[in-house]
Amino acid sequence: MAIMKKRPPVAQLGQPVLRQVAKPIAPERIASAEFQRFIDYMFGVLKAEGGVGLAAPQVYVGDRIFLAAVDPGPKGKLEPEVFINPQITPLADDQESRWEGCLSFLELQVLVPRWKKVKIEFLDREGKPRALELENFPARVVQHEYDHLDGVLTLDRAASTRDIIKASELDGVMDATGTKSAAD
């Protein structure tokens, strides 16, 4: 007899859904009560987990939607937005490597190169087309979450296995190498 374990709210490294390409969402589906409840569920998981972004595959759903904190709210704190069927275009040739964490493997930090400035086109929670130009940390967050929609993890972006470390060692590694975390 197999023992059934309750799965965590966020899919962890090794879950097949994290390696699958998510499917586009039909625009007419966005206004449905079921889909809106799913978005609310994602917001709840993101808040409970204390992250700055969350993609549908991370909550075991293969849809092209993610949440990302990119907009400074009234108190200057980044507030998450809904990105449905996003498309990202780099707006500059330069990239920057920073240490990134992921809710799907909190124990690790990965040094990841990302475009410093991007344009993201997407549908918002109401299904309206939008576009944003983002740079630095907000640009990094949307690129990280966008990767999840294509089954790509930060581990895949590391130039070397030496660029993957235990999260508990981040401060010492940053001091020794002069690198910065994504939040810096």
DSSP 97-160: EEEE--TT-TTEEEEEEEESEEEEEEE-TTS-EEEEEEEHHHHHHHHHHHHHHTT--HHHH-SS
Tokens of 86: 């996003």
Strand partners, 69: 80
Place of tokens 């993957």: 164
R_g (Cα) of the chain, nearest Å:
17
- The Cβ of residue 125 has, within 10 Å, a number of other Cβ atoms equal to 17
**Structural contact between residues 43 and 67, judged by C-beta atoms closer than 8 angstroms:** yes
Is 145 a known active-site residue? yes
Among candidate residues 100, 126, 145, 169, the one labeled active-site is: 145
DSSP 19-34: GSPPBPPPGGGTTSHH
Residue numbers annotated as active site: 145
